[in-house]
Amino acid sequence: MNRPKKPWPTKAVMQQIYEQKLWGTDGSDFYSGEGSHEEQITKPYVEAVINFLKSHDKKLTVCDLGCGDFNIGKHFVDYTKHYFAIDIVDELIQRNKQLFKAENLEFHCLDISKDSLPKADCVILRQVLQHLSNSEIQDILKKLSDYKYIILTEHIPIGDFIPNKDKIASQGIRLKQHSGVDILAEPFNFEVKETVVLNEIILSEKDGRIVTTLFISL
């Protein structure tokens, strides 16, 4: 009797994605995909997050979970008191440390579903949960209530869909299952004080939409 193979650990999955350039390439060693480089997607998102950061009298400390190649996060550092940029791939973090330097910027290699996370006012999770299993998402959400502000971006279908269909950690997302991550829905039922949509990019009926929501914790 052949037993089903266990899924790879998430760290190995993410390393393979970068090594085999499964999210594409721009010629560099590390490329976090079109969602981090296509100006149609990135420009309005960056503007929305900067406007949020600038709306506070005092600069916020930010924790960027799943910072990737840092093509996005690099725009936010100047608007923060301190910026923690975190990813699960060691080589990627070492590369980022060489390319991006600022007194208020720190890079850390962590598994955000398992490891302790830095204290901060605001956490950014940009198109990260969509690649993970429901179990990993649940583990991450348990930590997010420690942050006052959560800026979450998810790639979801247009119109009605069944949220949070489970999957293993992979390069793909739930869109092919006509699903997407909704942390307020079953099985997560994440409780928040307030929600505000900061940005929404409509791609197409087939390709869905990318929605960035600000959650304010209880």
Encode pLDDT of 44-78 as tens digits: 999 999 999 999 999 999 999 999 999 999 999 99
Give me the pLDDT at residue 26, please. 67
Give me the pLDDT at residue 83, please. 98
d(CA 131, CA 188): 16
Residue whose pair of structure tokens reads 């996060």 in the numeric block: 73
- Asked which of 19-23, 126-130, 149-153, 160-164 is least confident by mean pLDDT, the reply is 19-23
By the 8 A CB rule, do 214 and 196 touch? yes
Give me the pLDDT at residue 31, please. 64
Encode pLDDT of 5-45 as tens digits: 556 688 887 778 787 776 667 667 766 767 677 899 999 99
- Give Cα 180 distance to the centre of its chain: 14
Residues in a beta bridge with 84:
63, 106
Indicate the pTM of the whole model.
0.92
Q: How many CB atoms lie within 10 A of CB 101?
A: 10
Would the pLDDT of 131 be above 80? yes
d(CA 70, CA 129): 17
Give me the pLDDT at residue 22, please. 64
Encode pLDDT of 77-116 as tens digits: 999 999 999 999 999 999 999 999 999 999 999 999 999 9
- CATH placement of domain 10-216: 3.40.50.150
Residues 6+ apart with CB under 8 A from 80: 53, 59, 60, 61, 62, 104
Query: Which pairing describes strands 149-156 and 208-216: parallel, antiparallel, or unpaired?
Result: antiparallel
Give me the pLDDT at residue 7, please. 61
- CA distances to 31, 101, 189, 198, 204 from 86, in Å: 16, 14, 25, 22, 31
pLDDT band at 2 (very low <50, low <70, confident <90, very high): low
Residue 210's H or E segment, with its range, is strand 208-216
Alpha helices in the chain (DSSP H): 10-19, 39-54, 90-99, 134-144
53: phi then psi, degrees, rounded to nearest 5: -65, -40
Q: Give the 3-state secondary structure percentages of the chain, helix then strand then coil, rounded to 5.
A: 30, 25, 45
Task: State the Rg of the chain over Cα.
Answer: 17
